[in-house]
Amino acid sequence: MNSAIGPQTKVGLIGLGLMGKPMGMNLLKAGFRLTVWNRTASRADELVAAGAKLAASPRELAANSEFLLSIVSDPTALEEVLWGQNGAMQSLQRGSIYVDSSTVSPTLARKVATACEERGVRFLDAPVTGGDWGAKKGELVFMVGGDAATLTEAEPVLCVLGKKWFHLGPNGAGQTIKLAMNLILALEVDALAEALALVTAAGLQGEKLVEVMQSSMARSGVLDIKSQNLLKGEYTPSFPLRLMHKDMRLALELAQQIHVELPATEAAFGTYSTVKEAAKEDLDYSAVMKFWKK
């Protein structure tokens, strides 16, 4: 298999959700020979119209890919596309590179790495940050676990999708850092929601708190962006609540495995869980504010 990656490389992409579809568009724009697969085939229509091929299964896709990329919801979804019926793992090509950008557990990332090693496939766990906006602009940031030389080889693809990548350690390291990052986001937004509930219950306008915060030490990009959702009560998914809830659960599971207590995360997880269970539609994670709006 040709290991020098360039536009002639056959790239496969599994998962065409909020993140995967714009990533696919950027790969096509950069001239890669792209084949895609998605559980709901109709989500591939736009990419197929733009020049991508559609594979009949993850297995068929992997058999024809020199570089495979996946970005699906959660651990169950990743196991399904790799080891389910017509899964990709059985046909991944010796010498190929496989990069998974889903956010899953570090344990699953290491399990995938072991299976890949047995097949002579080089694997990187490379979850991303930057949201659907970063995916569209090709400005994602990758948190990478795995072999440094494989990362260097993968760079011609990563540089089309993102603006930066960090090599963080062996397989699983990318996922560990990603879960830690999302804990900060989840706790920050939950803290803002709680503070707004206090301010409004005391008879003041929430906007006053945000205005003061924006010129103080408490200023943060996340709070600036999400405060508008919280004040307006508009929760159109940018980063869906169901995915943030999954990431908090994965972080708490990791903490348990390595014997670390995360009491603030446990408490915030309870609040996010209440809102998620009551939600009737797909909401952004800033909908944690609904806890106080009941």
Q: In the chain, count of helices (H) and strands (E)?
A: 12, 9
- Determine the Cα–Cα distance for residues 191 and 137; give it in Å rounded to an integer: 29
- The pattern of x and - marking residues 92 through 131 that bind ligand NAP according to CB under 6 A reads ----------xx------------------------xx-x
Output 129 or 265, the one with its CB closest to ligand NAP. Answer: 129
Output 209 or 230, the one with its CB closest to ligand NAP. Answer: 230
Least distance in angstroms from the C-beta of 172 to ligand NAP = 15
E strands in 52-179? 53-54, 67-70, 97-100, 122-125, 128-129, 140-145, 162-169
Q: Is residue 243 a contact residue for ligand NAP (CB under 6 A)? A: yes
- Determine the Cα–Cα distance for residues 158 and 124; give it in Å rounded to an integer: 12
- The active-site residue out of 178, 246, 276, 290 is 178
- Determine the Cα–Cα distance for residues 123 and 145; give it in Å rounded to an integer: 9
Query: C-alpha angle 18/231/226, rounded to 5°?
Result: 40
- The pattern of x and - marking residues 173 through 202 that bind ligand NAP according to CB under 6 A reads ------------------------------
Span 17-36, contacts to ligand NAP by CB under 6 A: 17-20
Which residues of this protein are in contact with ligand NAP, per CB under 6 A?
15-20, 38-40, 43, 71-74, 76-77, 80-81, 102-103, 128-129, 131-132, 238-239, 243
